[in-house]
Amino acid sequence: MTVTTKPFLQIQGVHKTFSRGGTETEVLHDIGLDIAEGEFVSIIGHSGCGKSTLLNLIAGLTRVTTGAVLLEDREVNEPGPERAVVFQNHSLLPWLTVYENVHIAVNKVFGKKKSRAERHDWTLHNLDLVQMGHAKDKRPAEISGGMKQRVGIARALAMEPKVLLMDEPFGALDALTRAHLQDSVMQIHARLGNTAIMITHDVDEAVLLSDRIVMMTNGPSARIGDVLDVELPRPRKRLELVADARYIQAREAVLKFLYERHRFVEAA
């Protein structure tokens, strides 16, 4: 994949403070990051350091305290269809079918731009992309966790977002389903070339999928401790990578950061 050098998404000097019961806590401290169009970036760090907060700022679900998030030079202040989010716990509407869950998003984004027939085809196309076309008439309660997660991804992709934001999208899945979905996401990313930002706790997942891994220090006042370039050629095949020295090195660097350098004071 070719990644352009033009800053596409810019996170500039972002601080985020939450107030609760009269106490202010700074969760994120001076976060700065430029992400190029088409890049796949993972965010990794210990529990509670502020990864979801950072993703929510990019999604526009939370506002920065100071600093700015810019997408193509425009400040992000609110949620928008150009930044679709996939959550860990598949957020499907239980009373709608698989098809309807995706179609509702398609109608919202393309209601005026595509005809009824085009919206129908587009919904099916995106379900096929995640191999869920066969289950289109089922309701969320009738399908597995992995299948629900596929539908969540299809719904996000169907919005043709400029940025796909994923908050531990495979966290609740068993190892095999997780591996299948990781492969699907890699294939879709290769095909569509969309920009993707994913939170994960899984070091192997981060190395396998990412162009860069952003490693955050522990909170409060979490910072970006380090950013690792994953220089592994694509397409990547998990079984071949296990023995690849570059893969082993990248994995080691992230593990070392998490175990040894996770505190900013210690890292300094």
Question: Which residues are near ligand ATP by CB under 6 A?
Answer: 18, 20, 27, 45, 47-53, 219
Q: DSSP string spanning 112-128?
A: TTS-HHHHHHHHHHHHH
> What is the smallest separation between the CB atom of 24 and ligand ATP, expressed in angstroms?
10
Q: Residue 259: exposed, middle, or buried by beta-carbon count in 10 A (0-12, 13-18, 19+)?
A: exposed
> What is the smallest separation between the CB atom of 23 and ligand ATP, expressed in angstroms?
10
> What is the smallest separation between the CB atom of 63 and ligand ATP, expressed in angstroms?
11
Q: Is 45 or 140 the residue whose CB approaches ligand ATP more closely? A: 45
> What is the smallest separation between the CB atom of 45 and ligand ATP, expressed in angstroms?
6
Residue 110's contacts (CB-CB under 8 Å, 6 or more residues apart) are: 118, 119, 122
Residues 126 and 134: beta-carbon distance below 8 Å: no
- Residue 86 zone, left/alpha/beta (φ > 0; ψ -120 to 50; rest): beta
Separation CA 234–CA 237 (nearest Å): 8
Separation CA 45–CA 218 (nearest Å): 7
Q: Is 129 or 203 the residue whose CB approaches ligand ATP more closely? A: 203
User: Can you tell me whether residue 6 is helix, strand or coil?
Assistant: coil
Q: Is 27 or 258 the residue whose CB approaches ligand ATP more closely? A: 27
> What is the smallest separation between the CB atom of 115 and ligand ATP, expressed in angstroms?
41
For the record, the structure tokens of 246 come out as: 């570059």
Q: Is 89 or 187 the residue whose CB approaches ligand ATP more closely? A: 89
> What is the smallest separation between the CB atom of 46 and ligand ATP, expressed in angstroms?
7
Residues 195 and 156: beta-carbon distance below 8 Å: no
Cβ atoms within 10 A of the Cβ of 137, count?
10
Separation CA 23–CA 44 (nearest Å): 27
Q: Is 138 or 261 the residue whose CB approaches ligand ATP more closely? A: 261
For the record, the structure tokens of 258 come out as: 């998490």
> What is the smallest separation between the CB atom of 169 and ligand ATP, expressed in angstroms?
13
Q: Is 44 or 132 the residue whose CB approaches ligand ATP more closely? A: 44
In the chain, the amino acid numbered 171 is G
Q: Is 57 or 228 the residue whose CB approaches ligand ATP more closely? A: 57
